Copies of this chain bind each other. A is one copy, B any other.
Amino acid sequence: MTQQADFNVLTETCPSRTSLSRIANKWTAMVVIVLGAGRMRFGDLRAAVQGISPKVLTGTLRDLERDGLVARYAYAEIPPRVEYELTALGHTLHTPLHALGRWAEENIPEVLAAREAYDTLR
């Protein structure tokens, strides 16, 4: 029985909860995982994270930038070039998120089997 009392994330008033909620959206984890590979341009990110719309990618990157997890480098060129990169803090988040991505991939067969079993029952 591990103790949970020290987990402030569970407390409504704790700001760390907002941080966990930020990660908890459909795209953040994927963007951070991709950026783990290194500095990347907007268009490359868009291609890597399949199905993300430019609007959503922009919003996701802005949020990550605001939280100090991603740095944005804009070059005054024509055509414009903008690159994104994980900050040191962002790298510390990449580790657990990468682990989560791995989990999803490794265990998807069991999850799918469980879903099928559940759905055929009810």
B-contacting residues of A (Cβ < 8 Å)?
1-4, 7-12, 14-17, 19-21, 23-26, 28-30, 33-34, 36-38, 48-51, 65-69, 89, 92-93, 95-97, 99-105, 107-108, 110-115, 117-119
Judging by beta carbons under 8 Å apart, are B29 and A101 in contact? no
- Give the oligomeric copy count: 2
Given A20-B101, A50-B10, do A68 and B108 touch, yes or no (CB 8 Å)? no
A9 touches B101 (CB 8 A): yes
Task: Report if A100-B20 is in contact (Cβ < 8 Å); known contacts: A1-B38, A7-B33.
Answer: yes
List residues of chain B with CB within 8 A of the CB of A26. 21, 24
Q: Smallest Cβ distance from A17 to chain B, in angstroms?
A: 8
Question: Are A105 and B30 in contact, with the CB atoms below 8 A?
Answer: no
Which residue in B50, B95, B96, B100 is a CB contact (below 8 Å) of A11?
Answer: B50
In the complex, the answer to whether B93 meets A96 with C-beta atoms within 8 Å is no
